[in-house]
Amino acid sequence: SGAGLHRPVVLHVDEPVHVVPDGVAVTTVRVEDDQAVVDVVTTMRNAGMATATVVAETVLRDADGGEVERDATPSTLAPGETALVRQQFYVQRPRLWSPDHPWLYTAQVSLDGAPTLVRFGIRTVTVDPRKGLRINGEPVLLRGACLHADNGPLGAAAIGRADERRIELLKEAGFNAIRTAHNPASPAMLDACDRLGMMVMDEAFDMWTRFKTPYDYAADFPQWWAADLEAMVAKDRNHASVIMYSIGNEIAEVGAPHGARWARRMAELVRALDPSRLVTNGINPFLAVIDE
């Protein structure tokens, strides 16, 4: 969105053995009549000079702060090593997240020190040509809007309360979904969508290899596309409101053979990073035809 820093910047000051940024992934494995199975995968790194053993303690809490489940897993890391800890929880009588009932839980992960907090919702998303889009098995119709990366007269700066206010107004007007046109949403906006029950199509790129302006992202795309997709998924995967990813908006080369090749590569990377969500693409048919 133009240039410069238009969202908050965070400086991480960590212990030698620490949870990497965006390193906790919470996934709903399945939902049953009386319980939900939830996976918590924590990525840790040892930046120290000696082998260390730490205990990853994870506590799940409901919206009222009550403890739901807990687990503790020891892990040994050599100097410079990155490791995963996988923990599975069985939540009894879960409150499921949906646009009408946006119930949220919190996962608190501690490595012998300060905790990492992640809010998440327990819900399933499925789609097929016969039954359409379903949230927790219930059919849902999307009543959506495209939200661009600006706050009107406030400019391009991502002000948390301004983003939240936009979601509040859309929800009051009867919308239940947004598309982040044409870039990943700010954390503040996704937090608001989680709390208020607004479904999200999380969009990555406005161009791939074809330039739309002389100095846009197409110059960097061949080098950075994979790293940027990985960063987007890591940032947004715990948000219950995000029900699908979009790998592009009005991409000029999408109708050409090399565009199809790029689309397949990106879609497969996103599916490998997060197999729990749908992957789509915002296509402008006229633009795709004239590129032929």
* Residues acting as catalytic residues: 250
Q: What is the DSSP letter of 74?
A: E
Q: CA 223, 224, 229: angle at the middle one, nearest 5?
A: 145
Report the SS3 class of residue 248.
strand
Both tokens of 214, joined, read: 């002389």
Residue 123, phi then psi, degrees to nearest 5: -165, 160
Extended strands (E) in the chain: 17-31, 35-46, 52-61, 67-77, 82-92, 105-111, 115-120, 125-128, 132-135, 138-139, 144-147, 177-180, 199-203, 242-249, 278-282
How do 125-128 and 132-135 pair as beta strands?
A: antiparallel
CA 156 from centroid of its chain's CA atoms: 21
For residue 250, the tally of other CB atoms under 10 A from its CB is 18
Both tokens of 27, joined, read: 């996934």
Whether the Cβ atoms of residue 204 and residue 245 lie closer than 8 Å to each other? yes
Rounded Cα distance between 88 and 291, Å, is: 48
The residue among 137, 138, 142, 136 whose CA lies nearest residue 121 is 136
CA 244 from centroid of its chain's CA atoms: 9
CA 141 from centroid of its chain's CA atoms: 21
The residue among 48, 88, 83 whose CA lies nearest residue 71 is 88
